[in-house]
């Protein structure tokens, strides 16, 4: 899998997470169980904690995606995508691991696992930058 494909799969993962927490809201709104505007920002969430964590995992992906996609885009502009393709997929794997551990809960072990996956992404992305610059 090359780095471009990894970026596309990362974007797909972001969309899956958005659907994961947004889809349960549709029937609630359509059946009149909740007002359609009850999920606006600035209001206290009434969603189950599981869905709140899914939303947080989604937003966390959105925060980190531009850096990863930017490194891959620069590799493409430099004509060096193949230099990072072998390691780029591990950023995606770590991202999925971070998201899943985020959704599952907030126990000490899960928080430490989530932090480990995050740090893996940071270090792998830094390594990709190193490969492109050096």
Domain ranges of the chain: 3-133
Query: Model confidence over 81-127: pLDDT tens digits?
Result: 999 999 999 999 999 999 999 999 999 999 999 999 999 999 999 99
Chain centroid to Cα 6, Å, comes to 12
pLDDT over threshold 90, residue 4: yes
Buried b (16+ CB within 10 A) or exposed e, 70-85: ebbebbeeeeebeebb
Confidence (pLDDT) at 40: 66
Are 25 and 39 in contact, with CB atoms under 8 Å apart? Answer: yes
Query: Model confidence over 13-53: pLDDT tens digits?
Result: 999 999 998 888 888 888 888 877 776 677 787 788 888 89
What CATH class is the domain 3-133? mainly alpha
């Amino acid at each position: 899998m090359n780095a471009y494909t990894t970026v596309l799969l990362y974007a797909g993962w972001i969309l899956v997470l958005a659907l994961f927490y947004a889809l349960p809201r549709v029937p609630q709104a359509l059946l009149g169980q909740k007002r359609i505007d009850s999920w606006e920002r600035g209001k206290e969430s009434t969603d189950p904690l599981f869905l709140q964590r899914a939303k947080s995992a989604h937003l966390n992906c959105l925060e980190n995606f531009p850096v990863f996609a930017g490194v891959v885009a620069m590799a493409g502009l430099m004509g060096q995508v193949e230099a990072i393709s072998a390691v780029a997929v591990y950023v995606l794997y770590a991202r999925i691991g971070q998201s899943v551990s985020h959704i599952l809960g907030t126990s000490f072990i899960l928080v430490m696992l989530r932090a480990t996956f995050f740090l893996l992404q940071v270090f792998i992305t830094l390594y990709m930058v190193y490969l492109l610059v050096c």
